[in-house]
Amino acid sequence: MTPADADLVARVLVHDDRHAFATLVRNHQSPVRLFLRRLCRDDALADDLAQETFVRVWRHLGSWRREARFQTWLFQVAYNLFLSELRRRRPTEALSADGEAVDAVQAPRGDAVHLQHDVAHALAVLSLDERAAITLCFQHGLTHQEAAEVLAMPLGTVKTHVLRGREKLRKRLGAWEGAGAP
């Protein structure tokens, strides 16, 4: 929990301060949208879910447990909405659930755009749980415990998903590892 988040939340709850809520949205929209984009691999849908995430957060702001970081709670709400969308669409329509077969990354092509492209493709081979755990821990810097809270899974399960996902990513992105991030 950052003091700034707690202060902004208090202003929203006590004074119904929409400017404070706008600041919260601005501060956190990027990680939430990135997380959902990794899960959905459909930017428009991810942004719709992100909007719904913040609307739901607005409605239930009072239920935020302050011992958890505000961002962790946001991810939790976003992930639950994603799962609801997944359930709603299945089985008629795919929503990037489990891993897909994609071409292996052959070699680094030398710039950040290509790296992002290859990372996205490598993530696509992971199962949904692995992808969510890896994204939270690697990209957003959550601890395994925080990821377990977001994904509503036991800590050991999250560690297993991270471990398996990491091994799959190593196979796909091994060439980049030697080169390092540009």
Partner 1 sequence: MNAERDPQLESLFAPPAHVDDAGFTDRVLARLPARRAVNPWWRRAILAGAGAAAAAVGLGAPTVLAAVQGVFTTAVTQVASGGVPVVSLVMAGLLAWSAAAVVLEERA
| Footprint on this chain of partner 1 (rule: CB under 8 A) | 16, 18, 21-22, 25-26, 29-31, 33-34, 37, 47, 50-51, 54-55, 58-60, 62, 115-116, 119, 138-141, 143-144, 159, 162-163, 166, 169-170, 173, 176-177, 180-181
d(CA 166, CA 173): 10
Nearer to partner 1, 56 or 95 (CB): 56
Supply the minimum distance, in Å, between the C-beta of residue 77 and partner 1.
Answer: 13
How much helix, strand and coil, in percent to the nearest 5, is found in the chain?
75, 0, 25
* Nearest one of 104, 105, 91, 164 to 132, comparing CA atoms: 164
Nearer to partner 1, 60 or 66 (CB): 60
Cα torsion angle, 21, 27, 30, 33, sign: negative
Nearer to partner 1, 128 or 134 (CB): 134
Q: Which two tokens stand for residue 131?
A: 């992808």
Nearer to partner 1, 90 or 111 (CB): 111
Q: Which two tokens stand for residue 174?
A: 């091994």
